[in-house]
Amino acid sequence: MPLREAKKAAVRQALVAAANRRFHRHGFEQTTIDEICADAGVSRRTFFRYFENKEALAFPHRTERFERFLALLDGAGHSPNPVDGLRAICQTFAHEYSANREAILAQQRLVDSVPALAAREHEIDCDWETAMAATFRRRFGRGAAAERRARLMAGAAIGVIRATMRYWYEKDGKPDLARLGQEALDGLEHGFLS
Amino acid sequence: MPLREAKKAAVRQALVAAANRRFHRHGFEQTTIDEICADAGVSRRTFFRYFENKEALAFPHRTERFERFLALLDGAGHSPNPVDGLRAICQTFAHEYSANREAILAQQRLVDSVPALAAREHEIDCDWETAMAATFRRRFGRGAAAERRARLMAGAAIGVIRATMRYWYEKDGKPDLARLGQEALDGLEHGFLS
DNA sequence: TCTAAAATGCCACTGAGTGCCAGTTTTGGC
DNA sequence: GCCAAAACTGGCACTCAGTGGCATTTTAGA
């Protein structure tokens, strides 16, 4: 890795680490960007060249996870039933989340306690929903009806995923996330009343 | 109406009106709270006694609509199939939205152009989802499985409703919103693939 | 009419986020 | 190794959202 790139990665990492320490110790709003900068040995002005805003610090894996999701979506394109693809992706992420349970729960407690962070999380959900809709559309073919069906399904999918995650968080990550995910997708596939 | 109450309503109305003018003319971020206050003839400090923040100005009907939704949810509690209740509620709101098409579209264009407003809209969706989940839970009975089913269904419901609204907005409010809503609920009831 | 409560205005303050520019560090060609 | 261009950084001054405190005005009700 070229020197310049390595330094940038180090600064980024230092900022995230400093932020996490302070966020978890004193809370998000109580932590000031100036303090984080001081800890990381960087100027305020520089901070805003690494992160759009304070909230972005709480989702350091945002783009990385999303790109992985895109790749999985792309790769899962063989079955005619798009839910099959989702089931596989669901397994993958369920394992990752279960493996990093403590870290994920801590992050989520933070997010849930700060409306501004919940808002950012929703932005992420929107990205995922849009990506799913695009994939489904490719399966469903042309036409306004197919387009609408793809979007409805993506909306419902992100809805049940969110609900499932919330449930899992609430139960302190004890339930089997992979199983919860499969049940959620059952509802998506066959409806919640039939 | 007592004088004090009437004055408060007038101030509130003046603030919303001034804000709407400026928001639509110059945009949300370009409009300063000071300007809105000046237009409405009120001090900055007073503004914050009427609205939590600048964003709240963009959703003046938030609590009123939500309370109406709660009442409808409560009233639609006879059929064993909770989707039937949703269908009725959907009709009601579809008619209201179609009747105020222009105003609603203008408001939505504003919301869509400002991330901070999209975030507030999501807060509203969360309120609605929670309310639906509570209603469904009453239908589905006790037990962790019923609880989970209620939440999944509420998540999916808000997901398809959001997707439907986005579609309708995108088509400039031309499609028959009531029909779109029924189709969305069909998917919710019977699944998107069976 | 008089008083307690409610509503308002004003001031000073913190903290997020931005524009600008000058100084430093890294890179790539020689 | 040297040098110029490009990238990165720091510091400063600024705008604006949002808050706390307190003095002043307005309303409600006896």
Quick check: A192 and B152 CB within 8 A? Answer: yes
Q: Supply the mean pLDDT for chain B.
A: 94
Q: How far off is chain B from A3, nearest CA to CA, in Å?
A: 36
Q: CA angle at residue A126 from A74 to A10, to 5 degrees?
A: 80
Say which CATH superfamily domain A3-58 falls into. Homeodomain-like (1.10.10.60)
Per-residue confidence (pLDDT) for residue A28, from 0 to 100: 97
Q: Is the dihedral of CA A43, A45, A51, A57 positive or negative?
A: positive
- Lookup: nucleotide whose C1' is closest to A35 CA: C15
**pLDDT class of B4 with cuts at 50, 70, 90:** confident
Per-residue confidence (pLDDT) for residue A38, from 0 to 100: 97
For the purposes of burial, counting CB atoms within 10 Å of the CB of A84, is it exposed (0-12), middle (13-18) or buried (19 or more)? Answer: middle
Q: Quickly give B5 CA vs C5 C1' distance in Å.
A: 14
Structure tokens at A105: 């729960």
Per-residue confidence (pLDDT) for residue A78, from 0 to 100: 73
- Lookup: nucleotide whose C1' is closest to B48 CA: D18
How far apart are alpha carbons A83 and A81 in whole angstroms?
5
The full 3-state SS of A107-160, as one line of letters, equals: HHHHHHCCHHHHHHHHHHHHHHHHHHHHHHHHHHCCCHHHHHHHHHHHHHHHHH
The domain segmentation of chain B, as residue ranges, is: 3-57, 62-190
How far apart are alpha carbons B161 and B148 in whole angstroms?
20
Nearest to B156 by CA among B116, B128, B175, B180: B128
**pLDDT class of B33 with cuts at 50, 70, 90:** very high
How far apart are alpha carbons A167 and A144 in whole angstroms?
35
Structure tokens at B79: 């059929």
Q: Are A101 and A19 in contact (CB under 8 A)?
A: no
Per-residue confidence (pLDDT) for residue B2, from 0 to 100: 74
B 124-163 residues inside an 8 A Cβ radius of A: 129, 148-149, 151-163
Per-residue confidence (pLDDT) for residue B1, from 0 to 100: 66
Say which CATH superfamily domain A62-190 falls into. Tetracycline Repressor, domain 2 (1.10.357.10)
**pLDDT class of B172 with cuts at 50, 70, 90:** very high
How far apart are alpha carbons B40 and B34 in whole angstroms?
10
pLDDT in tens, B61-87: 999 999 999 999 998 867 778 899 999
Distances (CA, A) of B20 to A165, B54, B124, B127: 37, 12, 20, 24
Quick check: B159 and A156 CB within 8 A? Answer: yes
Q: Are B11 and B50 in contact (CB under 8 A)?
A: yes
Which residues in A lie closer than 8 A to residue B163 (C-beta atoms)? 129, 151-152, 154-156
Per-residue confidence (pLDDT) for residue A136, from 0 to 100: 94
Task: Give phi and psi for B32, each to the nearest 5.
Answer: -100, 145
Q: Quickly give A3 CA vs D3 C1' distance in Å.
A: 20
Per-residue confidence (pLDDT) for residue B77, from 0 to 100: 67
How far apart are alpha carbons A31 and A38 in whole angstroms?
12
Whether the CB of A52 is below 8 Å from some CB of chain B: the reply is no
How far apart are alpha carbons A78 and A68 in whole angstroms?
18
Per-residue confidence (pLDDT) for residue A100, from 0 to 100: 95
Q: How far is CA B41 from the centre of its chain?
A: 29
Averaged pLDDT, B157-185: 97
How far apart are alpha carbons A166 and A171 in whole angstroms?
9
- Lookup: nucleotide whose C1' is closest to A10 CA: D8
List chain A residues with pLDDT less than 50: none
Structure tokens at B61: 């009907």
How far apart are alpha carbons A93 and A99 in whole angstroms?
10
CATH number of B3-57: 1.10.10.60
Which residues in B lie closer than 8 A to residue A166 (C-beta atoms)? 151
Quick check: B188 and A191 CB within 8 A? Answer: yes
Per-residue confidence (pLDDT) for residue A77, from 0 to 100: 67
Structure tokens at B103: 């105003």
